[in-house]
Each structure stands twice: as structure tokens, then as C-alpha cells.
Structure 1
């Protein structure tokens, strides 16, 4: 197998998350996958300049949204305007997207099994509803990692206490789509520290 040229780069940016009439301060991870010339950005939280500080001068081939909560898509249209990169989102998250961007839309629908090619590697879309109806994860086997958005964190599944979420569905998604990945797969989350598939499987199954 040809070795991937891609690498994972990371930043953190602070802002707010609002839903169901409540607002919370949050820190979001910025994830960028690419090489020296091109990359994809995973989610668009809070601040365009913070995202571009991680992406640098590279061509951004896509803005891939793990789900449409406002802290993950708030600056997606502004980032698109600055870079020309298309926004990719699972269409089941339209109701959440429209809460934040009623006058804008995304460019391309994501579906389970889609493949996003960048810098010699492939990100495979895993539809993992539960935290949000259109939540997705991105598996990068060449890089030994999966980007889980708010579906799986260090310590367990993402929150399901708000509109458009379902606790039973998120656990089923995690078992079917994430716990079938190799145990050593590194989990890059939407908030907080990395973990591994094995570590989270042990926690959920104990």
C-alpha cells in the first residue's frame, strides 16, 4: 500500500453552543487533514482566522461537518467565502443547520460510505446518528484514526439530552460503526482529549 502523505493537525478555539434556549461556553477542536499543498477541514467552529491558522496557505478542498450544531458550523459559510471550499453535511441535519444558517445552505450532501480523498489518503464517512440525526464520523485507516465529532468522546458517547438527539440511537451507532474499527484506532473528538476505540469499548461494555 502506498504510504499516505497526509498528516493530522490540530487547534482549539473557544466560543459558545446554543440550543433549546440555553447557551454554554465551549472549546472546540479544529482538525485539519492534508499535506503541504492541500487539506480538508473538519468542522468550522467559532472563528475563521483560528481555522486558517491551522490550515495555513494550503488549498482547502472541503469543509466537512460532523454535524450541524452551531458550535461546529457557525463559521462554515464565512470559511467557504474566504477559501472557495465547499461545505459537506449529511442532509438529515438540515433542521439543525437552519437554526444557525436559515439563509444559507451547504454544497454537497454526505452519505454513509462516501469517500473523501485528500493528500493521498481517504476519509470514509460513517453515518452515526444519535447526538444529531445527521452526525457522521470520518475514518482514516491510513492514518490510524477516526474523527468522531460529538458522537464519541474520551469517557463515552456524546450528549443526547437536547432536541434531535437520542441516547439509544447513539449507542447503537457507536457499536455498529465505531466499535467495529481496529481497537488501536485513535479517536479525535470534537471537544477534549483523544482516546482509542479499545478504551471506549471497555468503558461502555463494563
Structure 2
């Protein structure tokens, strides 16, 4: 098995309920010397594509629909990397990307809000219309599987951080990509703000309980951790949920 994981950490902004936060985001590149899948490209397409090199990007997976995970997704998906075979594509489909962009359907509203904001700032009406018409190429579903370099990335719908948040589990690499559902030592958030913390905690518990305890957890922000460490902390986060209810 030649599959490996590379990490690119970038800094930028994320807007949540009209408030802008500074965030440091992890992008993960999974694949081999020929092909890769890019998980959560954020902020700096140039840095991400430098890490990709001349390999072909087979898919871009967004684990949620916040703008930090969308702001360079198209640029990474459309980059001319590798020797992509266009025979299966439709050259007349101007809305398609060189590599498909995947997002859970429950975050479609966040997608539309983000590209709607870009459209409002666009002076050219045709470009604005194109931005408003953009849609993900693939809608992620719980239990769906992506294959790359002889390994599988299994999709787990983990709502709470956003309605369409997902995590990706790779048994062959003993790794769990949790996006902003789960960070090291705490449930994931943007600027300490939780959307639906009780639902998020239920998602985390259902996700990590059946997994091997030595599974690496690679989050959307911060350092990596393990299933064992986060499983041991999970029940203590109930206090956070109660505080969130009071707010």
C-alpha cells in the first residue's frame, strides 16, 4: 500500500453569523505518487497545490460548508495537475470542475450563502450569475466511500457543527478525519461558537465509540489526537452542552 497523508496548515478568515474569525486550518492530501484526494482545502490554494505537485486531484472533499472550507475549493479543483483524462467529462458543462467537489446536501444552504456573497460583490453580471449557479458535483451521503491509492475513505455524517458536517474514516491507514466536528481535547468550533452542541456531541460519541482506540484523529484545526484520548474526554463535555443551552 503506497497511500500516504500529507498536511498543509494555512491561516485565514471564517465568517460565522456576520462575525469574522481568524482561523488556522488543516488541509489533508491523501493518495500516492500519481493521484490524491484533497480534504478541506483552505485559504491558500498555492500552498496546497505546491504540496500536491504534479499529481492528479481526483476529488475535493469539504467536511462542512463554512467558507474556510469553500474559499479555495474551486481553485484547487480546477488546477491543471497531473495528466487528467478528460474523455469522460462534458466539455460543454461550464459549471463542472476538473476534479469533483463533494459536500453534504445538508450544507447546501451554507454553500449558496457563500457563493451568493461572492456574487453580490462581483461587478460583472455574467460572472455573478455563474457564481450563483454553482453547485457541488457530489453530495456526500452517510456510508459513501471514496477510493484512492488502494485505500477507502468512508463518509460518516456527523451533524452538529453544521447540519452537513461529515467525518472520513480510513481503516487501512488507521485514521479519522474529523473536520471541525472534533478537535483535540474539545468539540470543534469556530471562535468558540457552537451551532448545535448537543447534536455535535451525539455525533462524536456515535462516531468514535466503535473505532479502534489507537486510531489517529486528524482534525480541521489544531494538533492530531487519538480516538482513545477523545473517548476518555467525551462525557466531560456535557457541561459545555449545558452552558450552551443556558446561553
Q: TM-score range by the shorter chain?
A: over 0.9
Task: Give yes or no for the alignment of 1:105 onto 2:135.
Answer: yes
For the Cα contact (< 8 Å) 1:20–1:162, is it kept in 2?
Answer: no
TM-score by length of 1: 0.94
2:167 paired residue number = 137
1:190 paired residue number = 220
Aligned residues: 202
Note the C-alpha offset of 1:201.
0.9
**Structure 2 SS opposite 1:13:** strand
Note the C-alpha offset of 1:162.
5.3
2:178 paired residue number = 148
**Structure 1 SS opposite 2:172:** helix
**Structure 1 SS opposite 2:206:** helix
Counterpart pick for 2:100 among 59, 75, 86: 86
1:96 paired residue number = 110
Work out the CA distance in 1 between the residues paired with 2:10 and 2:135: 24
Structure 1: gaps (5+ residues): none
**Structure 2 SS opposite 1:63:** strand
**Larger strand percent:** 1
Counterpart pick for 2:21 among 24, 48, 56: 24
Q: CA RMSD in A?
A: 1.5
Note the C-alpha offset of 1:81.
2.3
Counterpart pick for 1:71 among 68, 72, 78: 68
TM-score by length of 2: 0.78
Deviates most, 179-188 or 34-43: 179-188
From the superposition, tell whether residues 162 and 153 of structure 1 become closer, same or farther in structure 2 (CA, over 3 Å).
closer
**Larger helix percent:** 2
**Structure 2 SS opposite 1:143:** coil
For the Cα contact (< 8 Å) 1:8–1:34, is it kept in 2?
Answer: yes
Task: Give yes or no for the alignment of 1:60 onto 2:74.
Answer: no
**Structure 2 SS opposite 1:23:** strand
Work out the CA distance in 1 between the residues paired with 2:221 and 2:3: 22
Note the C-alpha offset of 1:126.
0.5
For the Cα contact (< 8 Å) 1:5–1:121, is it kept in 2?
Answer: no
Work out the CA distance in 1 between the residues paired with 2:51 and 2:72: 15
**Structure 1 SS opposite 2:79:** helix
